[in-house]
Amino acid sequence: MITNTLSTGTRPPPAARSKGEADLARGLLAEDEGAFAAVYLRWGSLVYTMASRSLGDAHEAEDVTQQVFLGVWRGRAGFRPERGPLGAWLVGITRRKIVDALAARTRRLGVIDSVAHEVRSSRQEERTIDAAVDRVLLVDALSRLPVHQREVLCMAFYEDLTQAQIAQRTGIPLGTVKSHTRRGLHRLRRRIEQDHAGDAAA
Protein backbone atom coordinates (compact mmCIF):
# COMPACT_ATOMS: atom_id res chain seq x y z
CA MET A 1 0.00 0.00 0.00
CA ILE A 2 2.73 2.48 0.94
CA THR A 3 4.73 1.85 -2.24
CA ASN A 4 1.55 2.08 -4.30
CA THR A 5 0.72 5.41 -2.69
CA LEU A 6 4.11 6.82 -3.67
CA SER A 7 4.25 5.38 -7.20
CA THR A 8 0.65 5.84 -8.29
CA GLY A 9 -0.43 8.82 -6.22
CA THR A 10 -3.28 6.98 -4.49
CA ARG A 11 -5.67 9.60 -3.19
CA PRO A 12 -6.62 9.52 0.50
CA PRO A 13 -10.28 9.36 1.52
CA PRO A 14 -12.06 12.76 1.71
CA ALA A 15 -12.11 12.65 5.50
CA ALA A 16 -8.32 12.34 5.61
CA ARG A 17 -7.82 15.10 3.04
CA SER A 18 -9.81 17.54 5.16
CA LYS A 19 -7.88 16.91 8.36
CA GLY A 20 -5.56 19.51 9.83
CA GLU A 21 -1.84 19.04 10.26
CA ALA A 22 -2.16 17.93 13.89
CA ASP A 23 -4.80 15.36 12.95
CA LEU A 24 -2.63 14.03 10.14
CA ALA A 25 0.28 13.72 12.56
CA ARG A 26 -1.86 11.72 14.98
CA GLY A 27 -3.10 9.51 12.14
CA LEU A 28 0.45 8.92 10.94
CA LEU A 29 1.56 7.92 14.45
CA ALA A 30 -1.41 5.59 14.61
CA GLU A 31 -0.29 3.88 11.36
CA ASP A 32 -3.32 5.20 9.47
CA GLU A 33 -2.47 4.70 5.79
CA GLY A 34 -5.19 7.12 4.76
CA ALA A 35 -3.52 9.81 6.85
CA PHE A 36 -0.20 8.93 5.28
CA ALA A 37 -1.70 9.29 1.79
CA ALA A 38 -3.01 12.73 2.82
CA VAL A 39 0.46 13.70 4.09
CA TYR A 40 1.92 12.68 0.74
CA LEU A 41 -0.76 14.63 -1.14
CA ARG A 42 -0.20 17.76 0.95
CA TRP A 43 3.62 17.88 1.02
CA GLY A 44 4.72 15.78 -1.95
CA SER A 45 5.07 18.73 -4.34
CA LEU A 46 7.05 20.74 -1.78
CA VAL A 47 9.46 17.86 -1.20
CA TYR A 48 9.89 17.32 -4.95
CA THR A 49 10.48 21.05 -5.57
CA MET A 50 13.14 21.23 -2.85
CA ALA A 51 14.90 18.16 -4.25
CA SER A 52 14.66 19.34 -7.84
CA ARG A 53 16.11 22.77 -7.08
CA SER A 54 18.96 21.32 -5.03
CA LEU A 55 19.86 18.45 -7.36
CA GLY A 56 18.94 19.90 -10.75
CA ASP A 57 17.83 16.48 -11.94
CA ALA A 58 14.21 15.36 -12.24
CA HIS A 59 14.94 11.64 -11.85
CA GLU A 60 17.05 12.18 -8.74
CA ALA A 61 14.37 14.51 -7.36
CA GLU A 62 11.71 11.83 -7.86
CA ASP A 63 13.92 9.27 -6.12
CA VAL A 64 14.54 11.61 -3.20
CA THR A 65 10.81 12.33 -2.90
CA GLN A 66 10.07 8.62 -2.66
CA GLN A 67 12.88 8.12 -0.15
CA VAL A 68 11.55 10.97 1.98
CA PHE A 69 8.05 9.54 2.27
CA LEU A 70 9.28 6.01 2.79
CA GLY A 71 11.41 7.47 5.57
CA VAL A 72 8.37 9.29 6.95
CA TRP A 73 6.34 6.08 7.12
CA ARG A 74 9.13 3.87 8.45
CA GLY A 75 10.34 6.48 10.91
CA ARG A 76 6.93 7.79 11.98
CA ALA A 77 7.58 6.73 15.58
CA GLY A 78 10.39 9.30 15.68
CA PHE A 79 8.04 12.22 15.10
CA ARG A 80 7.56 14.31 18.24
CA PRO A 81 4.70 16.85 17.96
CA GLU A 82 6.07 18.81 20.91
CA ARG A 83 9.24 19.56 18.94
CA GLY A 84 7.47 21.14 16.00
CA PRO A 85 4.79 20.65 13.34
CA LEU A 86 4.66 17.74 10.92
CA GLY A 87 5.56 19.93 7.94
CA ALA A 88 8.81 21.08 9.57
CA TRP A 89 9.69 17.46 10.35
CA LEU A 90 9.13 16.56 6.70
CA VAL A 91 11.33 19.42 5.54
CA GLY A 92 14.10 18.24 7.86
CA ILE A 93 13.93 14.72 6.44
CA THR A 94 13.95 16.15 2.92
CA ARG A 95 17.10 18.15 3.57
CA ARG A 96 18.89 15.08 4.93
CA LYS A 97 17.85 12.97 1.94
CA ILE A 98 19.07 15.70 -0.43
CA VAL A 99 22.43 15.76 1.35
CA ASP A 100 22.59 11.95 1.02
CA ALA A 101 21.81 12.18 -2.70
CA LEU A 102 24.50 14.82 -3.25
CA ALA A 103 27.02 12.67 -1.35
CA ALA A 104 26.09 9.63 -3.45
CA ARG A 105 26.51 11.70 -6.62
CA THR A 106 29.96 12.84 -5.44
CA ARG A 107 30.95 9.23 -4.78
CA ARG A 108 29.75 8.18 -8.24
CA LEU A 109 31.69 10.98 -9.88
CA GLY A 110 34.74 10.06 -7.81
CA VAL A 111 34.57 6.47 -9.02
CA ILE A 112 34.16 7.63 -12.62
CA ASP A 113 37.12 9.99 -12.30
CA SER A 114 39.22 7.25 -10.73
CA VAL A 115 38.43 4.79 -13.52
CA ALA A 116 39.07 7.44 -16.17
CA HIS A 117 42.42 8.27 -14.54
CA GLU A 118 43.40 4.60 -14.53
CA VAL A 119 42.46 4.27 -18.19
CA ARG A 120 44.49 7.38 -19.09
CA SER A 121 47.45 6.14 -17.05
CA SER A 122 47.25 2.73 -18.70
CA ARG A 123 47.16 4.27 -22.16
CA GLN A 124 50.06 6.56 -21.30
CA GLU A 125 52.04 3.59 -20.03
CA GLU A 126 51.29 1.68 -23.23
CA ARG A 127 52.44 4.66 -25.30
CA THR A 128 55.62 4.94 -23.23
CA ILE A 129 56.36 1.24 -23.68
CA ASP A 130 55.64 1.47 -27.41
CA ALA A 131 57.93 4.49 -27.72
CA ALA A 132 60.71 2.65 -25.86
CA VAL A 133 60.30 -0.40 -28.10
CA ASP A 134 60.38 1.84 -31.17
CA ARG A 135 63.61 3.46 -29.97
CA VAL A 136 65.20 0.05 -29.44
CA LEU A 137 64.09 -1.06 -32.89
CA LEU A 138 65.42 2.15 -34.40
CA VAL A 139 68.83 1.79 -32.75
CA ASP A 140 69.01 -1.86 -33.79
CA ALA A 141 68.02 -1.03 -37.37
CA LEU A 142 70.54 1.81 -37.52
CA SER A 143 73.31 -0.48 -36.33
CA ARG A 144 72.69 -2.78 -39.31
CA LEU A 145 73.05 -0.05 -41.94
CA PRO A 146 76.23 0.47 -43.94
CA VAL A 147 78.56 2.79 -42.05
CA HIS A 148 78.11 5.90 -44.25
CA GLN A 149 74.31 5.64 -44.22
CA ARG A 150 74.33 5.08 -40.47
CA GLU A 151 76.55 8.12 -39.81
CA VAL A 152 74.44 10.41 -41.99
CA LEU A 153 71.16 9.31 -40.40
CA CYS A 154 72.54 9.49 -36.85
CA MET A 155 73.61 13.08 -37.40
CA ALA A 156 70.18 13.87 -38.82
CA PHE A 157 68.22 12.05 -36.07
CA TYR A 158 70.23 12.80 -32.96
CA GLU A 159 71.93 16.09 -33.77
CA ASP A 160 69.14 17.52 -35.91
CA LEU A 161 71.56 18.54 -38.66
CA THR A 162 70.45 19.42 -42.18
CA GLN A 163 71.90 17.60 -45.15
CA ALA A 164 73.98 20.69 -46.00
CA GLN A 165 75.38 20.77 -42.44
CA ILE A 166 76.18 17.07 -42.61
CA ALA A 167 78.02 17.59 -45.91
CA GLN A 168 79.97 20.48 -44.40
CA ARG A 169 80.91 18.53 -41.27
CA THR A 170 81.91 15.29 -43.02
CA GLY A 171 83.35 16.72 -46.24
CA ILE A 172 81.07 14.39 -48.20
CA PRO A 173 79.48 15.99 -51.30
CA LEU A 174 75.90 17.12 -50.69
CA GLY A 175 74.59 14.84 -53.45
CA THR A 176 76.24 11.85 -51.78
CA VAL A 177 74.77 12.85 -48.40
CA LYS A 178 71.33 12.94 -50.00
CA SER A 179 71.92 9.56 -51.58
CA HIS A 180 73.07 8.02 -48.28
CA THR A 181 70.06 9.54 -46.55
CA ARG A 182 67.58 8.24 -49.12
CA ARG A 183 69.02 4.72 -49.20
CA GLY A 184 69.46 4.61 -45.44
CA LEU A 185 65.88 5.65 -44.78
CA HIS A 186 64.63 3.04 -47.24
CA ARG A 187 66.64 0.29 -45.52
CA LEU A 188 65.61 1.59 -42.10
CA ARG A 189 61.91 1.61 -42.94
CA ARG A 190 62.09 -1.89 -44.41
CA ARG A 191 63.97 -3.23 -41.38
CA ILE A 192 61.52 -1.72 -38.85
CA GLU A 193 58.52 -3.00 -40.83
CA GLN A 194 60.05 -6.48 -40.80
CA ASP A 195 60.61 -6.30 -37.05
CA HIS A 196 57.01 -5.18 -36.42
CA ALA A 197 55.71 -7.95 -38.68
CA GLY A 198 57.76 -10.46 -36.72
CA ASP A 199 56.35 -9.16 -33.41
CA ALA A 200 52.80 -9.40 -34.73
CA ALA A 201 53.35 -12.96 -35.92
CA ALA A 202 54.74 -13.94 -32.53
Tell me if 180 sits within 8 A of 147, measured CB to CB: no
Q: Which amino acid is at 130?
A: D
The CATH fold assigned to 144-201 is Arc Repressor Mutant, subunit A (1.10.10)
Is residue 86 scored above 50 in pLDDT?
Answer: yes
Q: Is the CATH number of domain 2-111 1.10.1740.10? A: yes
pLDDT reported for residue 201: 52
Percent of the chain with pLDDT over 70: 73
Phi, psi of 182 (to 5 degrees): -65, -50
Q: Which pLDDT band, with edges at 50, 70 and 90, does 69 fall under?
A: very high
pLDDT one-digit tens code per residue, 6-29: 554 445 445 444 467 788 888 888
- pTM for the predicted model, two decimal places: 0.48
**Which distant-in-sequence residues (6+ apart) come within 8 Å of 25 by Cβ?**
79, 81, 85, 86
